[in-house]
Structure 1
Amino acid sequence: MRRWMPLSLLLLGCMPAFAMEPASAQRILFVGNSLTYVGNLPATFAAMARANGHDVHSAMIVQGGATLAQRMADGSVRRALVRYRPAVLVLQERGGDLVCLPDEEACRQSRQAVRTLARAGREAGARVLLLGSYPSLPRASAAIVEEERAAATQAGIGYIEISESLRRLSGKATSSAWYDADGMHPGPALTLLDATQLHRALFGTFPAQGFLVAAPIYTPDSRLHAELRDADAPAPRPDTPQGIRYDATMLEQLGSMLDYSDKRPR
């Protein structure tokens, strides 16, 4: 299932951190942390969607170790909703906060932030989704899914489950690069899983066409700050890997495993 191929691509020109796309594109705003930007999920999803017939543009507000409560407090999401006018707002919380790690205050703040940002997104006319995270210990997977789903339900938004699918699929396809070299952040297979689950939630189908992500493929040390930026804007670090290709065979295999997982008894 190891079908992605890193590319050395030259990104032409010095694009600004944020450049307005044509109004015809469906704009997706991702708000999150290193679980969102390692592997560049926003750019991966946009490339996947375009290859499969959907005119999509992605932007993001991300920073390593960031929480949704921080984005609620600094007003960055509200400003981006006005400036970028997304059709979809995708929120991803720091792993563990919604299961009260390190303490009860973390989950209280997280739930409040999900509700507040969801309300802001709806008021701006965006569809809001909570994209799941995953725990460092597999035995905590079911608990984090339960708490994320409850937070999304309380906020009145959709929920995209990741952790239990990752646990099942990574046990089945053990040779795939589910994690980054650090063993914690997303690897190519997990970034593809995230993008595929989001594609299913928004468009109701599995993506079938392979695609090229012609954008920075961020590592944990990205130097990204919590500001609105295009998903394919030049990276702050000049040594950031550039580009990755996912082929149709890998998508087919992932889709088959997800379909199987969806139908098997829990």
Structure 2
Amino acid sequence: MSRRLLVVLLAALTVSTAWADEQVRRVLFIGNSLTYVNDLPNAFASLALPGTHIQVDMIASGGATLADATGNPSVSRALAEGGYTDVVLQERGGEAFCPSACQQNNAASLPAMQSARELSRRARASGARVFYLGTWQSSKETNEALEFGERAIAKASDATYIEIAKPRRKLMLTRPEMAWTHADGQHPGYATTAMMALRTWRAIFHVMPAAAPCVAGELHYHAPKPDGVLHIDTSATPRTCLVTEDAVPVLVGG
């Protein structure tokens, strides 16, 4: 074999390997009831095109904060041994709320800052990218204070921030017919879960999702596996699509 041919083959192998690495993703969601009601990780996993190699896991329990996650053995093992390429952190609703007095020191006094930074440090130490998925409040003013805190925490944690509060509130005004809130009046409705799934997909893969997010298997309201890691099975039945395909560009936004 000529030296030139060998170089070409090696180059092709390198490109092929790099492409394969790009196609294999292991994504871990760490959160709480905002994460598991309507099965956000499951909806996210459904956006993968045929032939895409992706594995999605979740660690979430009711009322859990990221501070709780820092002391959770399941989280510690997952981050150290799970081989995740991407970790999505979602704080309990309101924990990142940062009113005017808090904003003067750029949210540094928020307890939520320390736990997010610690989890992000552990995730990045294992080679994962980190994303900080936003939450929401009821009014324009509380949303602004919440997003200030979330942005500050994400920046301090070297995490990519995924905004939810402001665009969700705008869409609630322009698309009031969509299911933004669960029947309990607190948790995400189908449209909000779909929005989080779509925006998280775009943040991780830098592409517009091609389909509406659907949940494989039972739709959960209670934590499906509160004491450990839930591995998403996208082949489970039945299959529930959270929104119609025409809603996808609306929920993803610009």
Question: TM range, normalised to the smaller chain?
Answer: 0.7 to 0.9
Alignment of 1:40-51 (within 5 A): 40-50=39-49
Question: 2:213 & 2:157 partners in 1: Cα distance?
Answer: 34
Question: 1:231 & 1:223 partners in 2: Cα distance?
Answer: 11
Question: What corresponds to 1:228 in structure 2?
Answer: 229
The answer to whether the 8 Å contact 1:43/1:215 transfers is no
Question: What corresponds to 2:69 in structure 1?
Answer: 71
Question: What corresponds to 2:55 in structure 1?
Answer: 57
Question: What corresponds to 1:198 in structure 2?
Answer: 200
Cα pair distance change 1:161/1:108, threshold 3 Å? same
Question: 2:141 & 2:47 partners in 1: Cα distance?
Answer: 31
Match of 2:245 among 225, 228, 248: 248
The answer to whether the 8 Å contact 2:66/2:112 transfers is yes
RMSD: 2.6
Matched residue count: 224
Could you tell me how far 1:85 is from its partner in structure 2?
A: 1.3
Looking at both structures, which has the greater relative contact order when contacts are Cα pairs under 8 Å and sequence separation is at least 6? 1
The structure whose Rg is larger is: 2
After TM superposition, the score normalised by the length of structure 2 is: 0.80
Question: 1:115 & 1:29 partners in 2: Cα distance?
Answer: 16
Equivalent AA in structure 2 for residue 71 of structure 1: A
Question: 1:66 & 1:132 partners in 2: Cα distance?
Answer: 15
Large movers: runs of 4+ above 6 Å: none
After TM superposition, the score normalised by the length of structure 1 is: 0.76
Match of 1:162 among 161, 164, 173: 164
Question: What corresponds to 1:217 in structure 2?
Answer: 219
Alignment of 1:1-266 (within 5 A): 25-50=24-49, 54-99=52-97, 108-210=110-212, 212-219=214-221, 221-222=222-223, 224-232=225-233, 242-245=238-241, 246-255=243-252, 258-259=253-254
Could you tell me how far 1:74 is from its partner in structure 2?
A: 2.5
Q: SS state of the match for residue 47, structure 2?
A: helix
Structure 1 unaligned segments of length 5 or more: list them.
1-22, 236-240, 260-266
Equivalent AA in structure 2 for residue 228 of structure 1: V
Question: 2:234 & 2:59 partners in 1: Cα distance?
Answer: 12
The answer to whether the 8 Å contact 1:64/1:224 transfers is no
Could you tell me how far 1:229 is from its partner in structure 2?
A: 1.5
